[in-house]
Chains A and B, each alone.
Chain A
Amino acid sequence: MVDENSIVNRRYTYTHECKWPIEAIDIHHIFVRRSRAKRFFIYLSVIIVLSKSLFLLLSKDQSIPVLLWSFILSGFFIKLLLWKPVEKETVIIMPALGVQLETHYLSFSLGPETDSVVFLPHANMINLALAFEANVVETAEDLDLFPFGRIIRQFFPLDKILRPVLLECVTPITCYWSLSLVVRDEGELMLVFQELRPPVKMLVPIWKALCANIDDEKGLDTDDGS
């Protein structure tokens, strides 16, 4: 049985499911949405810059380093603005056991701690992109379309989690909400979403589910102890 709720905004898609066959397992996904218009605009800008550099090179006999610098800068901007190696992040809440945090990287990306990278053939990459853009992905099983991406997993036993907290983070240029875990014997908070910054309306149901799970566990412990 799958129970789904989803919230969508311009950058992310949130889905919630209870995993079959054990419906008590709570899974929350945050997917990264790719913007076609934004990618088109950026690729167009890059093409314009590169063709301008090439034109200057051919017509005015400019030195080749100018063209090389154009390539480097263009690659840098594409990497900065479009290259999002993260495909999705997942929170799996297993009652009486703990919480597992997962980060799924795209198959053509070099994620952290990567020990092997598999590059799909060009045709499969196109199919991959089209399928992703069509929002076909809804459940974990659908991710069989992306079988080769790196996944980083982190598990926290329930007795080590003191409390999940919603925090406002401030950077020199922006503010955003983050969901963190206060973990026993750890001096710092553990971010639930390491790579993504989903909005608070997507974080709140996850936070509530975590709180409910931890409160249930503490309630059971109290009953056992009494």
Chain B
Amino acid sequence: MDFVDDCPTLKIVLGFQPFLPLFVLECQICPYGVKTVVQDYLRLSCDRIEARNWTSMANEKHRILMVSDFFYPNFGGVENHIYYLSQCLLKLGHKVVVMTHAYGNRSGVRYMTGGLKVYYVPWRPFVMQNTLPTFYGTLPIIRTILIREKISLVHGHQAFSTLCHEALMHARTMGYKVIFTDHSLYGFADVGSIHMNKVLQFTLADVSQAICVSHTSKENTVLRSGLPPEKVFVIPNAVDTAMFKPAPVRPGNNEIIIVVISRLVYRKGADLLVEVIPEVCRCYPNVRIIFASSDLFHGVFCNGNGMYIKPMCSGYDLIVFLFSLNILNRKVLYVWLNLMIWHFKLLCTLQSHLETHFKVRFIVGGDGPKRVRLEEMREKHSLQDRVEMLGAVPHAHVRSVLISGHIFLNSSLTEAFCIAILEAASCGLLTVSTRVGGVPEACIMRCPLYLFNFVLPDDMIVLAEPDPVDMVLAIRKAISILPKIDPQVMHDRMKKLYHWQDVAKRTEIVYDRALKCSNQNLLERLSRYLSCGAWAGKLFCLVMIIDYLLWRLLELWKPAEDIEEVPDIILPHHQDGEKLQDFKEDQSLR
């Protein structure tokens, strides 16, 4: 099997324990066995209890270097994660510096919001935004940045980032503690994945701690890299709910708008969309709703096609009349009320129990190689008026696209976490998603004590298998429960469930744990690389030995004393009426 999320699911019920109430644990059987997953849950719970005590004791502030090939001005899950996490860590009092490669003319040192310092190192990307892997070429610049910024630990992001791998390797050579965050799921079978997994195995052989964005991602990372599971923390992503707010006025109910925003590539299930969209449009053609009653008082429900009302003397007359209109073969549902219905509210309430049919429209945002297929599907089924293609949507405009719809559709074939779902839920959209990877975990709610996990009911997300038939059924179910959705209530719930401050605090705990790891010399570390494989292990050892020698040579050529430290610049604060303070500089500049 290619992905861990194909593993069968097992439900385990744990008994009552003194500190943990009874709860149901749903987990997966994987090659490591159920025991490991259960142990992780218990360990995580114990870690959280321990962390609450730890947090109160840990006042130490860290100086963190975030390294990745993926950062602003690019927009994406990894980029946003690094940015928001860095901002929250800055607010917690830590010093954060980001290192990435140059983007066009954006080269050198830049300062972002909150004093976030970014080094855009002039190493040009060569494929898929990745820096050319040189093994030792980045050693001088990384060493210089680590010394001049007085970094205490290095945090690398994303397994696909060559800069991240090289930075972690050099940082370990120089004796720094390193942390790695994996944001994606990868396979095991194809040539690219095999090589990528070997590189990951090399990097993670000597990492201090690792972070994954979901338990599924953790299993995937552990299997690919051979890292001990107890070294891996699970810290889910969050969403900026201040940016993703529902629309002040919800779109009208006369037609249902389903929004799709993703890269139109194979991994994101663009081929599924080609099958699903025509089927959904066929299920929901242009129809009218008829309410009929012997009473002249009728609900004023209208759809865009108008309402046909005719007072009847009896139900039989009604049926005869409706047949005469030849409406039945147009799949119109007739509601026949013989009883006196006096209250308008009752009519509207009953409406929610009726199988009503609406016009459904799709808005597809995003670009990619599969866009052509979607365009062809639109032409073939004559859905030009029902499927709108927006093309690439800048991240700043994502919210405006989301709030124009009622339902968000995610058809990914694999997702470690899927921040897009959180963004859609924050905007008040009901989500329909494929049940892959870490998506089910995206809906796990944590209680305020951060001790227990409960799965949400289906009022926020409808899951389906990555199959067109199942997805169409899920969409129909979503449409049926749409009237129950209150976007503002959903947004408020998301505010409490997901926030980056929580992610930062949990990451802080990981940093504390990493810094408490023991220091090891080169020989002790080489033994870890030897276990990576018969030939690969020896090759990795050779690479690390050469790296160590080059580092020593650099120490002779350009001693650390010659690299001057950068003074910390404190930016003025301006928050809700506080006075602007004078710009302060470090005393070394006076």
Residues of A within 8 A of B (CB): 9-11, 167-175, 177, 199-201, 204
Cα separation A204 to B585 with both chains bound (whole Å) = 12
The interface residues of chain A lying within 8 Å CB-to-CB of B562 are: 9-11
How far apart are A187's CB and chain B's nearest CB, in angstroms?
A: 13
- Cβ B566 vs Cβ A168 within 8 A: yes
- Cβ A170 vs Cβ B107 within 8 A: yes
B589 within 8 A of A: yes
- Cβ A172 vs Cβ B566 within 8 A: no
B119 within 8 A of A: yes
- Cβ A172 vs Cβ B120 within 8 A: no
Cα separation A89 to B121 with both chains bound (whole Å) = 28
How far apart are A23's CB and chain B's nearest CB, in angstroms?
A: 24
| Shortest Cβ distance from A201 into B: residue | B564
One digit per residue, 1 when the CB lies within 8 angstroms of any chain A CB and 0 when it does not, for chain B 109-125 equals 10000000001111100
- Cβ A172 vs Cβ B121 within 8 A: yes
The interface residues of chain A lying within 8 Å CB-to-CB of B561 are: 10
B140 within 8 A of A: yes
The interface residues of chain B lying within 8 Å CB-to-CB of A9 are: 562
> Of residues A168, A170, A204, which shows the largest number of chain B Cβ atoms within 10 Å of its Cβ?
A170
- Cβ A204 vs Cβ B589 within 8 A: yes
Cα separation A200 to B588 with both chains bound (whole Å) = 10
B93 within 8 A of A: no
Cα separation A118 to B219 with both chains bound (whole Å) = 73
Given A173-B140, A174-B140, A174-B141, CB of A168 within 8 Å of CB of B564: no
Extra A-B contacts (20), CB below 8 Å, given A9-B562, A200-B564, A204-B589? A10-B561, A11-B562, A167-B109, A170-B121, A170-B122, A171-B122, A171-B141, A172-B121, A172-B122, A172-B123, A172-B141, A173-B141, A175-B119, A175-B141, A175-B144, A175-B145, A175-B148, A199-B564, A201-B564, A201-B588
The interface residues of chain A lying within 8 Å CB-to-CB of B123 are: 172
Given A175-B141, A175-B145, A204-B589, CB of A170 within 8 Å of CB of B109: yes
Cα separation A84 to B588 with both chains bound (whole Å) = 30
How far apart are A207's CB and chain B's nearest CB, in angstroms?
A: 9
One digit per residue, 1 when the CB lies within 8 angstroms of any chain A CB and 0 when it does not, for chain B 136-160 equals 0100110011001000000000000
The interface residues of chain A lying within 8 Å CB-to-CB of B144 are: 173-175
Interface of B is mostly: mixed
Cα separation A177 to B140 with both chains bound (whole Å) = 16
The interface residues of chain A lying within 8 Å CB-to-CB of B145 are: 175
B175 within 8 A of A: no
B391 within 8 A of A: no
The interface residues of chain B lying within 8 Å CB-to-CB of A173 are: 140-141, 144
Cα separation A169 to B109 with both chains bound (whole Å) = 7
B108 within 8 A of A: yes
How far apart are B150's CB and chain A's nearest CB, in angstroms?
A: 14
The interface residues of chain A lying within 8 Å CB-to-CB of B109 are: 167-168, 170, 175
- Cβ A170 vs Cβ B148 within 8 A: no
- Cβ B140 vs Cβ A170 within 8 A: no
The interface residues of chain B lying within 8 Å CB-to-CB of A200 are: 564
**Residue A170 contacts which of B119, B137, B589 (CB distance < 8 angstroms)?**
B119
Cα separation A169 to B120 with both chains bound (whole Å) = 10
Cα separation A149 to B437 with both chains bound (whole Å) = 71
The interface residues of chain B lying within 8 Å CB-to-CB of A168 are: 108-109, 566
Cα separation A167 to B108 with both chains bound (whole Å) = 10
| Shortest Cβ distance from A199 into B: residue | B564
Cα separation A177 to B121 with both chains bound (whole Å) = 15
Cα separation A174 to B119 with both chains bound (whole Å) = 11
How far apart are B586's CB and chain A's nearest CB, in angstroms?
A: 11
How far apart are A170's CB and chain B's nearest CB, in angstroms?
A: 5
How far apart are A199's CB and chain B's nearest CB, in angstroms?
A: 5
Cα separation A204 to B587 with both chains bound (whole Å) = 12
| Shortest Cβ distance from B119 into A: residue | A170
The interface residues of chain A lying within 8 Å CB-to-CB of B564 are: 177, 199-201
Cα separation A168 to B567 with both chains bound (whole Å) = 12
Given A200-B564, A201-B564, CB of A169 within 8 Å of CB of B140: no
Cα separation A171 to B122 with both chains bound (whole Å) = 6
| Shortest Cβ distance from A41 into B: residue | B556
- Can you list the 8 inter-chain pairs with the closest CB atoms, starting with the nearest? A173-B140, A168-B109, A170-B108, A199-B564, A174-B144, A175-B144, A172-B122, A173-B141
One digit per residue, 1 when the CB lies within 8 angstroms of any chain A CB and 0 when it does not, for chain B 99-111 equals 0000000011100
Cα separation A173 to B123 with both chains bound (whole Å) = 10
How far apart are B219's CB and chain A's nearest CB, in angstroms?
A: 38
The interface residues of chain A lying within 8 Å CB-to-CB of B120 are: 170
The interface residues of chain A lying within 8 Å CB-to-CB of B588 are: 201
Cα separation A11 to B588 with both chains bound (whole Å) = 20
How far apart are B478's CB and chain A's nearest CB, in angstroms?
A: 50
| Shortest Cβ distance from B148 into A: residue | A175
The interface residues of chain B lying within 8 Å CB-to-CB of A199 are: 564
Cα separation A9 to B148 with both chains bound (whole Å) = 17
Cα separation A167 to B562 with both chains bound (whole Å) = 18
Cα separation A170 to B137 with both chains bound (whole Å) = 15
How far apart are B566's CB and chain A's nearest CB, in angstroms?
A: 7
Cα separation A201 to B565 with both chains bound (whole Å) = 10
Cα separation A177 to B564 with both chains bound (whole Å) = 9
How far apart are A176's CB and chain B's nearest CB, in angstroms?
A: 9
How far apart are B66's CB and chain A's nearest CB, in angstroms?
A: 16
| Shortest Cβ distance from A174 into B: residue | B144
Cα separation A79 to B120 with both chains bound (whole Å) = 31
Cα separation A173 to B137 with both chains bound (whole Å) = 8
One digit per residue, 1 when the CB lies within 8 angstroms of any chain A CB and 0 when it does not, for chain B 522-548 equals 000000000000000000000000000
The interface residues of chain A lying within 8 Å CB-to-CB of B107 are: 170
The interface residues of chain B lying within 8 Å CB-to-CB of A169 are: 108
Cα separation A172 to B119 with both chains bound (whole Å) = 11
A-B contact pairs, 12 of them (CB 8 A): A9-B562, A11-B562, A168-B108, A168-B566, A169-B108, A170-B119, A170-B120, A172-B122, A173-B140, A174-B144, A175-B148, A200-B564
Cα separation A40 to B566 with both chains bound (whole Å) = 33
> Of residues A9, A171, A201, which shows the largest number of chain B Cβ atoms within 10 Å of its Cβ?
A171
| Shortest Cβ distance from A166 into B: residue | B589
| Shortest Cβ distance from B109 into A: residue | A168
Cα separation A173 to B566 with both chains bound (whole Å) = 17
How far apart are B464's CB and chain A's nearest CB, in angstroms?
A: 48
The interface residues of chain A lying within 8 Å CB-to-CB of B122 are: 170-172
How far apart are A198's CB and chain B's nearest CB, in angstroms?
A: 10
Within 8 A of A (CB), among B359-382: none
> Of residues B144, B561, B588, which shows the largest number of chain A Cβ atoms within 10 Å of its Cβ?
B144
| Shortest Cβ distance from A170 into B: residue | B108
The interface residues of chain B lying within 8 Å CB-to-CB of A174 are: 140-141, 144
> Of residues A9, A168, A169, which shows the largest number of chain B Cβ atoms within 10 Å of its Cβ?
A168
The interface residues of chain B lying within 8 Å CB-to-CB of A167 are: 108-109
How far apart are A209's CB and chain B's nearest CB, in angstroms?
A: 14
| Shortest Cβ distance from B149 into A: residue | A175
Cα separation A200 to B140 with both chains bound (whole Å) = 20
One digit per residue, 1 when the CB lies within 8 angstroms of any chain A CB and 0 when it does not, for chain B 42-55 equals 00000000000000
How far apart are A118's CB and chain B's nearest CB, in angstroms?
A: 34
| Shortest Cβ distance from A171 into B: residue | B122
How far apart are A81's CB and chain B's nearest CB, in angstroms?
A: 10
Cα separation A77 to B472 with both chains bound (whole Å) = 71
The interface residues of chain B lying within 8 Å CB-to-CB of A10 are: 561-562
The interface residues of chain A lying within 8 Å CB-to-CB of B566 are: 168
